[in-house]
Structure 1
Amino acid sequence: MHSSVLARALVTLGLLGNLALPLDAQQTDYVLGPRDVFTITVWGPGGVSERFTVETDGTFTFPLLGRLKAGGLSVRQLQDELTAQLRDGYFKDPRVTVVVDEYRSQQIFVTGEVKSPGTYTLTRPMTVVEALALAGSTTANAGNVALVRRRIDGEASKAPVTRTGDELKEIRVDLTALQEGVLANNPVLQDGDTVAVPRAAPVYVFGHVGRPGEYTVGRDATVRQILSLAGGVSQRGAAGRVKIIRMVNGSEQEIKAELDDHVQPGDTIVVPERFF
């Protein structure tokens, strides 16, 4: 999939712009975890404003209230909990805000055919398409799917997951559908998830061309472009009878090809011999 194509789709859907939402709009659904740093402000007479760090056990110590749980709570849930407890004997009508200052607890990994693979911090609920945008979108060699790999035991992986197994769940995301604006399968990522974008399957060229073989091409490549990569149709080749052999729902189909038809990863292009 060409990176420019997916990038244009992201802009069209308004997803890239969402990355610049105000902090208060981004943070309220963020789930706190160990090592996150946040500021609690209690507004009004006698109010306080102080920074706290979530300890490894998911708690922190707040004046007046003592040891409180933060890990596993969203920012909004912590605000509501603090408001309720402070109202119970300390403030008549407290207004409490919680703002995350440093995101340290949650991360995801983006690997494979993206421009900037690496580790990314989860600063808010993030979907696959937003993670790909952070990674600079896909490269020209990317296939049509992204794979979300997640541990089924609920534990967060500390490094990119490069294999599958009984302990892992793998979610397939159709990048072509995302490009077309179909967001039904655009899962929200969890701490420790790996988003892997495999390289596109090659296209095979056989028959009467200059250089038969396999070629890795972008998603929008045409029969004409691939035949050019393969050295063109030879003098004995029949350019008007080119066919594509394609697997559809597990069965092989033979399609009469026009030179401007788009190919799909895994297609086989066959150029037969001329009759005379």
Structure 2
Amino acid sequence: MIRVMPRHGQRRRHPIAARPALASLGLAATLCVSLGACTPGTDLHEVPSYDPHSYVLGVDDQIRVITYDQDQLSTDFRVDAGGKVAVPTLGNLQAAGLTTAEFAAEMTQALEKQKLLRHPSVVVEIVAYRPVSILGEVARPGEYPYRPGMTLLTAIAASGGYTYRAFEGYAYVVRQEGDHTVTGRLSPGDFVKPGDAIQVYERHF
């Protein structure tokens, strides 16, 4: 029987010698998962739920005003940085924080107050919403157009899907609520709000 002896100064590694290290790594991973220490964003709270039917206008929204039988008062507008819309003959009208129906009522009242029309009929609809920003572990990070009824999952799909490193349980979101900003956790089935900035985490294991 021929034995191959290790050369001088070379230590022979036995397969069993690697087992304690692998066992320790496996134990660490188990503890990490069971304790939640390796799950990103565990200290985040759920952001307030968003109802797409209760949407209020915000900065950079593009709206279309239709005033029946008044072509000069029927056009598209963009909500400016001050939350207002510059309407010909009416001046700057507050739009941010109002629903489309509320803004239509405000414009109707302004037309009547200035006696420009006796019985104006105004309808307001949204042409383009504020975009949604999707960053982190997605295939194509960037800004994407908001679509009514968009959820976190459909927003991720719009950005090309998760990367292989992505944590898919939830995402971090920065959201504008009225005159203040909130941050928190967004689950896959939660509705996305126009203007949301979403960060998809990298998983640790």
**2:183 is aligned with what amino acid?**
K
TM-score of the two chains, using structure 1 as the length reference: 0.43
Residues 58/87 of structure 1: CA separation in 2 closer, same or farther (3 Å cut): same
Q: Does 1:196 align with 2:200?
A: yes
Structure 2 counterparts to residues 75-154 of structure 1, below 5 A? 75-87=100-112, 89-103=115-129, 106-122=130-146, 124=148, 126-150=150-174
Residues 38/198 of structure 1: CA separation in 2 closer, same or farther (3 Å cut): same
- Cα offset, 1:196, TM superposition: 1.3
TM-score of the two chains, using structure 2 as the length reference: 0.54
CA distance in 1 between counterparts of 2:186 and 2:127 reads: 34
Give the number of the structure whose alpha-carbon radius of gyration is greater.
2
More strand, by proportion: 1
Structure 2 counterparts to residues 28-67 of structure 1, below 5 A? 30-44=55-69, 48-67=73-92
Residues 81/64 of structure 1: CA separation in 2 closer, same or farther (3 Å cut): same
CA distance in 2 between counterparts of 1:151 and 1:29 reads: 15
CA distance in 1 between counterparts of 2:93 and 2:53 reads: 18
Unpaired runs of 5+ residues, structure 1, are 1-26, 157-167, 176-182, 203-276
Structure 2 counterparts to residues 1-276 of structure 1, below 5 A? 30-44=55-69, 48-87=73-112, 89-103=115-129, 106-122=130-146, 124=148, 126-150=150-174, 169-171=183-185, 173=187, 175=188, 183=189, 186-189=190-193, 191-199=195-203, 201-202=204-205
> Greater relative contact order: 1 or 2 (C-alpha under 8 angstroms, separation 6 or more)?
2
**Which position in structure 1 is the counterpart of 2:43?**
none
**Which position in structure 2 is the counterpart of 1:243?**
none
Unpaired runs of 5+ residues, structure 2, are 1-51
Secondary structure of 2:105's partner? helix
CA distance in 2 between counterparts of 1:73 and 1:152 reads: 14
Q: How much is the aligned-residue C-alpha RMSD, in angstroms? A: 3.6
8 Å contact 2:173–2:185 — kept in the other structure?
Answer: yes
Q: How many residues align?
A: 152
8 Å contact 2:60–2:79 — kept in the other structure?
Answer: yes
CA distance in 2 between counterparts of 1:46 and 1:152 reads: 34
- Cα offset, 1:46, TM superposition: 7.5
**Which position in structure 1 is the counterpart of 2:23?**
none
- Cα offset, 1:68, TM superposition: 0.9
CA distance in 2 between counterparts of 1:67 and 1:102 reads: 20
- Cα offset, 1:42, TM superposition: 0.5
CA distance in 1 between counterparts of 2:193 and 2:75 reads: 30
Tell me the alpha carbon deviations over residues 238-260 of structure 1, each in whole angstroms, 9 at most, x when there is no partner: xxxxxxxxxxxxxxxxxxxxxxx
